[in-house]
Amino acid sequence: MNLNALILCMTMGLYGLFTGTASAQVRNPILPGFYPDPSICRVGKDYYLVNSSFSYFPGVPIFHSTDLIHWKQIGHVLNRASQLNLTNQGISEGIYAPAIRFNKGTFYLITTLIGGGGNLIVTATNPAGPWSDPIWLPEINGIDPSFFFDKNEKAYIINNGPAPDNKPLYDGHRAIYLQEFNLKTMKLTGPRKVVVNGGTDLSKKPIWIEGPHLYQKGGAYYLMAAEGGTGEDHSEVIFKSDSIFGPYESFSGNPILTQRDLPANRPSPITCSGHADLVQTSKGDWVAVFLACQPYAGNFYNTGRQTFMLPVDWSGDWPVILPKGKAIPEGVIIPTVSGAGQTTFYNYSTNWKDDFDQPELRLDWNFIRTPKEKWYELKDNSLIIQARSVSITDKGNPSFIGRRLQHANAEMTTALKLEKGKDMEAGLVAFQNESFLYKLVVEEKEGKYFLGLSFPGPNSVIILKAYSEITDYQPGDYLFLRMTVIGKKLMCFYSLNNQKWINFGTEDATKLSTSVAGGFVGAYFGLYAFAPSPATATFDWASYKKIE
């Protein structure tokens, strides 16, 4: 079935579900690439969405939309070292599961820094920033905190924590905790209470109840959380109570979102769905954002966990994001009016180029951990990177500026030149973590130029996949490099003129997948430079393109 037919069927199936009459089409994922753990809030006609960023800096990308369809990044919440000081954390440590909420003129973002200070709050009156320095919450033992502002003007923090009394009954036994928060003192107050123990049914040993959020509707409190772990058994479940501290009843129809019960051999599968958040439109309809994955084969995906959207059926007593047995659609109708003359983030991401002609780096670019010094410069429509003696395989802050791999089939291309007379290397890196990456670099050594393709082996020993001198390269000219991923294959190319491309090697792209590399992040393409003593690499431009 083609996308238009699918959307038509879904439109007919959703007729009457929305309280308003307006509806529009959205394409999933709404944020392609490594944008996991979405949280969303609405202020008037404006929607704001944030994601986990782990050990990339700046932390917590924040997006804005007025119609839930066209999303544009407006900044990062944690963009100063005083807010986020990432030093030697693993790439899958760092910032976990931020939650964004708005109350009486102030935006509140609460999150967890793994491998650092734990749970923290930052605030802002403008979601584009600046955001405050963190207020730390050492009393919270756990992760995935979220704010809830009650209609009685009290505030609460809910989070995933250890099993009651730190006595787990089985592996993966966790609990959901709730405590009041004083907005004047910005401190927790009152008793801390377990409101969900284990999950939907403790006797069935549910695992990894996490990512909780609270909502209020019709006088009742609804507690929504992820359950089942972040893999293919991932799901979203819901509980209900007449009192904020419970007891909470588990919905008999749980889970309200999962793909674990679908055939593994279904075409174009979307998997691992969960970690959702809900938002109510100004017309009273409800919409869910959540993470999910798009494997290109088996359980291999290099793009990480992405942000998806679905309308919520809350016509009864319980919200349902997706009926059991239904596949997450790529095209879906949501209750909104599409803004005219705007570009979706999905379309923006398919054909992208940076000519480095702006005074600041574009928001698409990230560093690995927090830079302690500014080692790059935007000058004369170029990006100049100082090659430093921090390797891409080190747990530090290498001279790497990267952007997300956002599609199973895509290519990244750049033009670069090296500072003459310096022993150094610079080029492209396809990065998953320090042990799983591919490096395509030009190396200058004793006045000669070489091209190398490598991968880290055991004990961080670099394995050269290909290496040869570029005898026809003229120093001072630009050299063009390209990395292309087509599902399981990574192909590397170089050119002297950006017209004739020479294949320099084909490698196993599954090594960039979560299944092989482990962890929670997606792959990046990045610009990189290294030298034992000060040197510079100049990048004239960089482009990224989805391959159909």
Kindly list the catalytic residues.
37, 210
How far apart are the C-alpha atoms of 260 and 53, rounded to whole Å?
Answer: 26
One-letter amino acid for residue 399 of the chain: S
C-alpha to C-alpha distances, 313 to 106, 274, 278, 286, nearest whole angstrom: 30, 16, 11, 7
Tell me 488's DSSP state.
T
Quick one: tokens of 466?
């290909």
Placement of tokens 């100082």 in the chain: 386
| Nearest CA among 38, 66, 15 for reference residue 257 | 38
Pair type for strands 502-508 and 489-495 = antiparallel
C-alpha to C-alpha distances, 362 to 74, 109, 283, 428, 528, nearest whole angstrom: 10, 23, 35, 18, 17
Is-contact 364 352, C-beta < 8 A? yes
Length of the chain: 548
Preceding peptide of 32 cis, ω within 30°: no
Residue 363 buriedness (CB in 10 A; 0-12 / 13-18 / 19+)? middle
| Nearest CA among 359, 391, 432 for reference residue 56 | 432
Strand order in the sheet with 271-280: 271-280, 286-293, 306-312
Is-contact 548 417, C-beta < 8 A? no
One-letter amino acid for residue 445 of the chain: K
User: What is the rounded end-to-end Cα distance, in angstroms, of the chain?
Assistant: 18
One-letter amino acid for residue 455 of the chain: F
Preceding peptide of 263 cis, ω within 30°: no
Longest Cα–Cα distance in the chain: 76
